[in-house]
Amino acid sequence: MSHLTVTNQDGVLVVDSRDAAQMLVKRHSDLLEKIDGYIRYLENGELRSQDFFIESAYSTSGNNRRYKHYFLTRKGCELVANKMTGEKGVLFTAAYVTKFNDMEKALLNSHQQILNEAKRMRSEAMLLNAKTKQTRIITDLAIKFQEHLSPESVQSLLAGVSAYLFGSPLLPMPEIEKTYTASQIAEDAGVSRFIIGKLAHTHGLKKREFGLWVLNTIPSLGKQLPHFRYNEKGKSKLLELMEQEGAVKP
């Protein structure tokens, strides 16, 4: 059985006629003569002999002469085995059935591995594509609003984008001071946030000295818009102005 080897020839599993002859304890020339006869019968019966036997040639070292041999497909092996009787026929049948089954199983496993790898690569490509689209959206927003955003906010956006896309930030995250929204300051002061907005507008507080511009998501609009957050100096200035104008609740 060890003499029989199944190989893949252009996608077809085959056994070399030389191996088959050795397994059958036959002269190779005698087996070729038998196969030639089978081919004549097949072609006379309008059957494709190539589905059973594939003619080829080989050469030996130190000799440029080419010698004829056949590749036997599974059908070819079955046809040869069908004409054999006794122990040789049984052993040959057992050998080719086992070898073909082993090879087919190996090919199936290999094919499944290729499919699994293709699925994995496709999933990774889809994830990367999604990340790239999301990154482009955020980057476009940073560019669109760069005149309204603080340098720290732009740097934070770009650092976050690079960390999301590559796993680690290409730019360092800037040190950002503690900030407050108008609503947070209004709640602390016990006033309406509209008063905060009015004071900030009247006294020109929406500038870098008193805070910074960031992008804020507006769920009801489904978009991001520039939003000013006040630093400690901005918060203190607003509280001072509200006290001066009597806007702060006692």
pLDDT tens figures, 220-245: 776 777 888 898 898 999 888 888 87
Q: Tell me: the pLDDT tens digits for 68-105? A: 999 999 888 888 887 776 776 667 777 777 777 787 78
Whether the CB-CB separation of 178 and 232 falls below 8 Å is answered with yes
Residues 132, 85: Cα–Cα separation, whole Å: 68
- Ordered by start, the domain boundaries in the chain are 6-109, 121-166, 182-244
pLDDT of residue 25 exceeding 90 = no
Q: What is the per-residue pLDDT for 71?
A: 94
What is the 3-state composition of the chain as percent helix, strand, coil, each rounded to the nearest 5? Answer: 60, 15, 25
Residues 233, 208: Cα–Cα separation, whole Å: 11
| pTM, rounded to two decimals | 0.42
Mapping DSSP to helix (H, G, I), strand (E, B) and coil, where does residue 169 land?
A: coil
pLDDT of residue 124 exceeding 90 = no
Q: Which amino acid is at 181?
A: T
Q: What is the per-residue pLDDT for 30?
A: 92
Antiparallel, parallel or unpaired: β 6-9 and 223-230: unpaired
